[in-house]
Structure 1
Amino acid sequence: MISVRTALDHLLDLVSPLAVEHVPLAEAFGRVLAKDVAARREQPPFAASTMDGYAVNKAEVELHAMFKVIGESAAGHRFDGRVGPGQAVRIFTGAPVPDGASFVVIQEDVDRKGNLITILDQPGGDNIRPAGGDFKIGDIIAAPKRLSSADIALLASMNVPQVPVRRKPDIALISTGDELVMPGETPGPGQIIASNTFGLKALLEDCGASVRILPIARDQKPALEAAFNFAKGADLVVTIGGASVGDHDLVAQVAQDLGMEQSFYKVAMRPGKPLMGGRMGTAAMIGLPGNPVSAMVCGHVFLKPVVERMLGLPDGTTFKTAPLREPLSKNGPREHYMRAVLTPDGIAACENQDSALLSVLAEANVLLLRPPHDPARDTGATVTYLTL
């Protein structure tokens, strides 16, 4: 068995950033920016008023000063003339400040009679947003970056209609086992629902991948061969179950018969020991254990960083620390990822760590990491965790 870190390094070596494609801005949310993008205009493109009021020359602004109103500037309808001495232009929020003006007196500070205004209160700031105050032509959004809704708004303001992004990884999910049926079907005696497939699909899509759920592969070589054939063209093939060494665990054998170059098998972790990695032609392959929690934990620990590598992102896995709310007994020889609940008061491992219990995984919000042979820990001891 190899360590979790070594296994992850092997898996990351199997993949590389995918090709760049250009998508319309309206379809870029959540995608990963692949190249730096530069602003094609400055924002605001002109000095703009931040308030409703009157645009005047700043040097003339003083209490009781009087100005003649010679026009109006509104958003989308600028005043084309020039503001001269003793003159003012009625201006509205967001409107261009006319030439010759350098100050906006807010409307609450003036008295207007016909076309004459008088400043009645001592003005404060100039109430003008300078041109290019937000960004200038050539300012960039740096790649790589997963684009948020705020990024999309910024790109639109920069006048960028097409965005260079990484192609979404095409991932084929293959659940294996005679005991499995799809949700909505009626299980026969001794059968269960294929839950892992859907949990992993959600996890991988949340990471930014495009995921195909293939038909369940039964525990027969022809069925597994057909499943791998359906997976052709994928960037990553993920099998679930059948990776152990029992009489019905045929994934490794069939994959090798089809030309898989195995990178490793078995990891010193709990849950998730029977993990396999390798390459099938141009696709990377990862064989996950069949226990539901084992598969999902391996999804967080291994699949997520692999997808991030394919998207050109750095590994976003972040381990944090917190004090224990309850004591822990000593750990065994494998790295243990315990389902746990983090609260403002600290962290506590869930009582039952059976790797078949998805209800416990749904209750947990973190994985508490125990190093191999970690001694017993008392309440208050600092431990490491990974957010789910």
Structure 2
Amino acid sequence: MPAFDRRLLDYETALDTCLSAVTESLPAETVGLEKSLGRVLRRSVESAISVPPFDKSTMDGYAVKSADVAGALDTAPVALEVIDEIPAGRVCGKILRSGQAARIMTGAAVPQGADAVIKLENTAPAGSEQVHILSGVEENNYIIYKGQDLLPGSRVAEAGATVTPSLLGLLANCGTPNVSVSRKPAIGIISTGSELTAPGTPLAEGRIYDVNSYLLYGLCIEAGGDVAMLGTVEDKSDALLALLNRHTDADILILSGGVSVGDYDIVHETLQRAGVEEIFWRVKVKPGKPLFFGRRGSTLVFGLPGNPISSANNFYLFVLPVIHKLLGRSAWGLKTGHATVCNSMIFRPGRRKFLRAQLRQGPEQGVWIFPEQRSGVFGPMVDAEVLVEVSEAAKMVREGDPVKIYYL
């Protein structure tokens, strides 16, 4: 793929370019259901059984014929013969006839002949073989019928869906032991900067703790990656080159820091020395302008800015959709929506802006844009719930303006 010129790429072109580099999804693998949480399904799943597999009581009480107890009252109870007691896991071998009832527990199979369950609180014992029914009951009361949830052949989940806890339960409910999922993408993370210090180490003067390794590690894990922090390197090209050449088997390699045009920004030059084909460098977004994207063999390479907010924005806007496409997900990137702005802000036009904000509830969904948007100030990111998109030409947004939002 030919390199682009040095003009800043607009957001859509840059994103399309990143996605077009993914020509096929990662290979599929079969895993046990207990290992599938958070994974992306590669084959649709259909139920092999009826769910529930029998007519099931949803209440402790008595299985009855509703016509037998019509008009029953506290003051005029209906007496029924108790023919069986049915705990969950046992099937009654008798057919319920008029004038009869069966004691039944939640989850147990409703006996043949019964068309309703009356809860225990609306009954009274009347000796060892009778029960008094103290109220009437509608037909089908407290019964889930066989196949009411799923019939054999019913679609449980589509290919491309992510296995959530709820879906995990549904798959178990229809007896699915294994599922086909995408292999997790192998992602390596490298942070560059002579000022970086590992957390837990005393800070020397002029140094800072390495934020991006941990920030990007968390983002990649959350996205479904198999992630390795490959280390931090000083702003020395030979040291970075040696590290790059030791790690050549990742699906995605993410570097942060040193990707701009300063005297110590050695990443761009070193990536060229390492044989990384440049696809583009720098995008027309704020924050996150110095984004690098390239390829070395089958490895996709992202160079993100050193400021944590810029690095996170580039991840959300460009890396995350690529991970999703590699996984074969049905939708890529952050979910989007629309909201109205709750506070006015002035901007310098020129680049597409993605601003950190919080949601506000009201007659319409609103967003409060944080006044602090500098890419080197990390604290507000913890409270951000959405990114607000503002066009390149905009000089301000006013309270009440409609905006596109990206849910974090």
User: Is the shorter-chain TM-score for this pair beyond 0.5, marking a shared fold?
Assistant: yes
Aligned to 2:334: 317
Matched, 1:364 2:384: yes
**Structure 1 residues 91 and 198: CA distance shift in structure 2, 3 A:** same
**Structure 1 residues 251 and 157: CA distance shift in structure 2, 3 A:** same
Aligned to 1:136: 151
Cα offset, 1:136, TM superposition: 1.8
Secondary structure of 2:232 counterpart: coil
Q: Provide the C-alpha distance between the structure 2 equivalents of 1:66 and 1:326, rounded to a whole number of angstroms.
A: 69
Percent same amino acid at aligned positions?
Answer: 35
**Structure 1 residues 290 and 109: CA distance shift in structure 2, 3 A:** same
Matched, 1:95 2:108: yes
Q: Provide the C-alpha distance between the structure 2 equivalents of 1:195 and 1:160, rounded to a whole number of angstroms.
A: 41
Q: If the length of structure 1 is used for normalisation, what is the TM-score?
A: 0.91
Q: Which amino acid aligns with 1:77?
A: R
Q: 1:164 aligns with which of 161, 180, 204?
A: 180
Matched, 1:33 2:53: no
Q: 1:68 aligns with which of 72, 75, 81?
A: 81
Q: Provide the C-alpha distance between the structure 2 equivalents of 1:266 and 1:82, rounded to a whole number of angstroms.
A: 76
Aligned to 1:83: 96
Q: Which amino acid aligns with 1:21?
A: E
Cα offset, 1:56, TM superposition: 4.1
Aligned to 1:338: 355
**Structure 1 residues 123 and 283: CA distance shift in structure 2, 3 A:** same
Secondary structure of 1:100 counterpart: coil
Aligned to 1:48: 56
Q: 2:397 aligns with which of 365, 370, 377?
A: 377
Secondary structure of 1:12 counterpart: helix
Q: Provide the C-alpha distance between the structure 2 equivalents of 1:92 and 1:243, rounded to a whole number of angstroms.
A: 66
Secondary structure of 2:170 counterpart: helix
Cα offset, 1:89, TM superposition: 2.7
Q: Which amino acid aligns with 2:199?
A: P
Cα offset, 1:386, TM superposition: 2.5
**Structure 1 residues 122 and 338: CA distance shift in structure 2, 3 A:** closer
Q: Are the equivalent residues in 2 in contact too, given 1:174–1:239 (CA < 8 A)?
A: yes
Secondary structure of 1:32 counterpart: coil
**Structure 1 residues 175 and 106: CA distance shift in structure 2, 3 A:** closer
Q: Are the equivalent residues in 1 in contact too, given 2:69–2:135 (CA < 8 A)?
A: no
**Structure 1 residues 347 and 126: CA distance shift in structure 2, 3 A:** closer
Q: Provide the C-alpha distance between the structure 2 equivalents of 1:354 and 1:61, rounded to a whole number of angstroms.
A: 72
Q: Provide the C-alpha distance between the structure 2 equivalents of 1:203 and 1:332, rounded to a whole number of angstroms.
A: 29
Q: Which amino acid aligns with 1:269?
A: V
Question: How does 1:194-205 map onto structure 2 within 5 Å?
Answer: 194-205=210-221
Matched, 1:2 2:19: no
Aligned to 1:115: 129
Q: Are the equivalent residues in 2 in contact too, given 1:111–1:120 (CA < 8 A)?
A: no
Q: Provide the C-alpha distance between the structure 2 equivalents of 1:60 and 1:231, rounded to a whole number of angstroms.
A: 76
Alpha-carbon RMSD across the aligned residues, in angstroms, is 2.3
Q: 2:18 aligns with which of 11, 26, 43?
A: 11
Which moves more between the two structures, 323-332 or 43-52? 323-332
The superposition leaves residues 66-101 of structure 1 with CA deviations (integer Å, 9 ceiling, x where unpaired) of: 543332222112222333454433322222122333
